Structure 1
Amino acid sequence: MEEAKKAKVYRMSRILIVEDESIIRTALRRLLERNSYAVDDAGSVDEATRQFNLNEYNLIISDLRLPGAPGTDLINLAKAVPVVIMTSYASMRSAVDAMKMGAVDYIAKPFDHDEVLDTIANIIKLRGAEDKSTQTTSETAAPPSTNQMVGTCKPMQDLFRRIHKVARTDATVLIQGESGTGKELAARAIHQQSARADAPMVSVNCASIPETLIESELFGHEKGAFTGADSARSGLIEAADGGTLFLDEIGELPLEAQARLLRFLQENEIRRVGAVKSTHVDVRLVAATHRNLKALAKTGEFREDLYYRLYVMELQMPPLRERGEDIIVIAQQFLQKSCDKLGSRLLKFSHDACQTMIRYNWPGNVRELQNAIERAVILADDHTITTDLLGLDIEPGSLAALESNFASGNSLVAETGENASERRPEQNLSLDDYFQRFVLENQDNMSETALAKKLGVSRKCLWERRQKLGIPRKPK
């Protein structure tokens, strides 16, 4: 009976652990064996290559720092077998370097059991393990890691700490940041870490609902409240009762809906369109916008009292271009997800592609990165994603180059003969400040083409930066 059970285990997915600390090695082995994996282990790269045939495994998990050769040597020795690198939180930069060398993922020590199992299950599924019935149930029970925020840079670590603090309260949260930076992921993290995690989280994109329907969608309506209201209907705020309401692009709400929303925040009550009585609701509000609500409040486009009611706790999402080598970690996750979605073999990024992704300006942020990688997976003919396959609009005079010049203290633009004196950035002004000042001072006398040429960017880049900074074009 025991022999039959053992034979069954060894028909399962096989994993090799390479770890010199016996306590960690034993704990990880027991975790995997409890979840129906067949496991071998070794204390060094040399021991692993002498005792085992690396190509017989579905996955190798190795510590980064080992006696003798480092764990990254297994990436080339194992050839087609995926390698996951283990490292401490204090050595996350080394984990990023390992992924550049071809590691498919990393595990941070001390490791979380569920995260380890999810990572392993996703990798083995992607590699086409023959007996899918032997994979852990956590593969379907937990969301994939690509739906979680990741980041080791200081802005992201600060963000994670603030999310953890604010999640334990019921305070209203305003998430600000450029389009595509992952504001909804931050909202979900707040909800999942809160006491409301078992209740629903309802997400609403205020910009996608017609202005005539927004109040009905949010607050519901009674039968006969307006033409076409054939029956009573509860709104999205009621649907979130007990949980969290996420209002994305809240700056697009019309003023009438803003007044209703303010009452909801003040009284914890809503009144359906056409109703006489109010209904009490218990809903935590998280809002997000890429617009400057304070500036909109000053111009009367957004209610000032609502702005201050929302501004209890602010979270700022850093743009992708400021996240350094986090970009590679995120790209690896998107690559794994795209390969899985498209049924492709597991690919890897070339060194040049990694460097390009780090240097690129990413005006579309994480969303642009995801689309670029999915496009590259579709077009790839071999196992490597090159820079060309990413299809990024990189120009010698791009805004990324301007930012590099700005950081080194060079002038923002080449001056005209009339402004021959060199204009250096002042320490208290940002690149965006200087960009905005130059455009506003010169757009009355220069065409868009001339402005873009003088700034050293394409018309497309000029338009994107106008959108980001809210700089209107001159009236024709």
Structure 2
Amino acid sequence: MRRILIVEDEDIIRSALRKLLEHTGYEVSDAGSVDEAERAFDLQQFDLIISDLRLPGAPGTELITRAPNSPVLIMTSYASLRSAVDSMKMGAVEYIAKPFDHDEMLAAVESILSRKSAPVDLATPEVAADGTAAGDPARHMFGDCDAMQQVFTLIRKVAPTETTVLVQGESGTGKELAAQALHQLSPRAARPLISVNCAAIPESLIESELFGHEKGAFTGAVSARTGLIEAADGGSLFLDEIGELPAEAQARLLRVLQEGEIRKVGSTQSRKVSVRMIAATHRNLKAMTRTGEFREDLYYRLNVMQIRIPPLRERQSDILGLARRFLERQGKRMNKQGLNLSPDAMQVLERHRWPGNVRELENAIERATILCDTDLITPSLLDLDSDGGDFAIPQSLVEGDHAPTTTREPDTANDLSLEDYFQHFVLENQDRMSETELAQKLGISRKSLWERRQRLGIPRKKTPSN
């Protein structure tokens, strides 16, 4: 069983994270500070250390040097996200921003542990028994259908080059997995892959986060900071949901692609960088260029090689194969090996529309595994009918038209569905609450709030520029 150490001074966060990881099948220990952790445990015995950045006494990054053989994942608030870049440069294997949702944390933990158990020899890529390289997309993404095989072929061809890649697909299709495969199969695999969700960073901070800033560049800039693009120098930069970049950041990014150089906010000097750019979006960028939401010149710089990840509803033959893989994985995590899908459950899975794509399928299997008391997964355990089985993604969202959808007026408060409640709450409170406050009140992460806005067509209120 994998051993994980949590170092976090907030009791509520430490306790919740411990329960999450123990429920998933990990052996977990915890401490409230770096010194407490070192006194109580042999740090070298842990397969992973998850630490808050700011702790009483020594910072969480101190664990990188005190436990050189254990990977360290740094947790940081959005307000201190710039410090996470320095953490990566000091040797942290990954950072995750607070508040985070459970799926985000578990995915990061699994990714780190899988890399630790199967290190890649960069001079001679590791080859599995089936002949695929360690970074090969077929080892990270499942897909037997023709559409996914074409995706794998494209990734294998373009990965060894320096070509900029635009990955397109709906939320939950696996765009980040494609980016990871592109990086791991490239000559840059020895250097970092920095992943940035452009929608998850406040608009007022996006330029500083990407390009860095000089001391005194703006109020609160008490010291110079390195940007995420500079942190990816020599490696790859994955810009997820690039369609959400504001106009000023788009212009700066264009210069990076054209000239290979960055200029920090508040600086008069430029610096050369060597970064392989991988961008992803669920929006129609070409349609956005016609409305002026996205720069046309930047679109053509990004769209050198386009890889489209098909939605799950177009991969009918892959549904049961994916479900069985997720069932096996969840069974191992929860010590419930030997679970199987009933014939009725298989029919339900194949008939479902899958608006949430592969992510929705994985969540349904995880839910059923938790609830299952026998060795057979039945339709009732999947609970797909009540989870929007007939929901179809509005074509307007795919085409880039984000006009708000019409919401039905409930007869009484008791008639509010979860989606109705979400729309009602956001529209009623977004004028007086920030995105962070809205997410906290709803009990979800900022990323989940943004994704639901996109799915339901709820526009984000624009704040007036100073």
- TM-score bracket for this pair, using the shorter chain length: 0.5 to 0.7
How far is 1:470 from its partner?
6.6
Q: Does 1:369 align with 2:379?
A: no
Structure 1 distance, partners of 2:387, 2:260, is: 52
Mapped contact 1:173–1:315 kept (Cα < 8 A): yes
Amino acid paired to 1:217: E
How far is 1:327 from its partner?
1.3
Mapped contact 1:327–1:358 kept (Cα < 8 A): yes
Alignment equivalent of 1:169, drawn from 158, 161, 167: 161
How far is 1:340 from its partner?
2.5
Alignment of 1:119-198 (within 5 A): 148-198=140-190
Amino acid paired to 1:174: L
Give a deviation string over 1:216-261, Cα, whole Å, max 9, x none.
1111111121222222111111111111100000011111111100
Alignment of 1:305-316 (within 5 A): 305-316=297-308
Aligned residues: 295
Alignment of 1:21-420 (within 5 A): 115-116=128-129, 148-393=140-385, 398=390
Alignment of 1:402-441 (within 5 A): 432=395
Structure 1 distance, partners of 2:315, 2:386, is: 19
Which residue in 1 is equivalent to 2:42?
Answer: none
Q: From the superposition, tell whether residues 465 and 199 of structure 1 become closer, same or farther in structure 2 (CA, over 3 Å).
A: closer
**Corresponding residue SS for 1:276:** coil
Mapped contact 2:135–2:184 kept (Cα < 8 A): no
How far is 1:358 from its partner?
1.5
How far is 1:209 from its partner?
0.3
Which residue in 1 is equivalent to 2:121?
Answer: none
**Corresponding residue SS for 1:325:** helix
How far is 1:471 from its partner?
10
Q: From the superposition, tell whether residues 232 and 248 of structure 1 become closer, same or farther in structure 2 (CA, over 3 Å).
A: same
How far is 1:315 from its partner?
0.9
**Corresponding residue SS for 1:197:** coil
Structure 2 distance, partners of 1:469, 1:242, is: 39
Structure number with bigger Rg: 1
Q: From the superposition, tell whether residues 470 and 163 of structure 1 become closer, same or farther in structure 2 (CA, over 3 Å).
A: farther
Mapped contact 2:320–2:349 kept (Cα < 8 A): yes
Which residue in 2 is equivalent to 1:15?
Answer: none
Amino acid paired to 1:279: R
Gaps of 5+ in 1: 1-111, 119-141, 404-430, 451-457
Structure 1 distance, partners of 2:273, 2:186, is: 18
Mapped contact 1:432–1:469 kept (Cα < 8 A): no
Structure 2 distance, partners of 1:207, 1:447, is: 24
How far is 1:399 from its partner?
5.6
Give a deviation string over 1:364-398, Cα, whole Å, max 9, x none.
00110111111111100011111111110269993
Q: From the superposition, tell whether residues 363 and 396 of structure 1 become closer, same or farther in structure 2 (CA, over 3 Å).
A: closer
Mapped contact 2:352–2:389 kept (Cα < 8 A): no
Structure 2 distance, partners of 1:239, 1:345, is: 42
Mapped contact 2:234–2:275 kept (Cα < 8 A): yes
How far is 1:345 from its partner?
3.1
Amino acid paired to 1:207: A
Mapped contact 1:146–1:337 kept (Cα < 8 A): no
Alignment of 1:459-470 (within 5 A): none
Give a deviation string over 1:59-95, Cα, whole Å, max 9, x none.
xxxxxxxxxxxxxxxxxxxxxxxxxxxxxxxxxxxxx
Q: TM-score, normalised by structure 2?
A: 0.56
Amino acid paired to 2:310: P
Mapped contact 1:146–1:334 kept (Cα < 8 A): no
How far is 1:206 from its partner?
0.3
How far is 1:339 from its partner?
2.0
**Corresponding residue SS for 1:266:** helix
Aligned-pair identity (%): 60
Calculate the aligned-residue CA RMSD, in Å. Answer: 3.8
**Corresponding residue SS for 2:162:** coil
How far is 1:320 from its partner?
0.5
Mapped contact 1:255–1:302 kept (Cα < 8 A): yes
Structure 2 distance, partners of 1:351, 1:388, is: 13
Amino acid paired to 2:161: T
Give a deviation string over 1:15-57, Cα, whole Å, max 9, x none.
xxxxxxxxxxxxxxxxxxxxxxxxxxxxxxxxxxxxxxxxxxx
Q: From the superposition, tell whether residues 156 and 390 of structure 1 become closer, same or farther in structure 2 (CA, over 3 Å).
A: same
Q: TM-score, normalised by structure 1?
A: 0.55
How far is 1:459 from its partner?
8.8
Mapped contact 1:202–1:240 kept (Cα < 8 A): yes
**Corresponding residue SS for 1:208:** coil
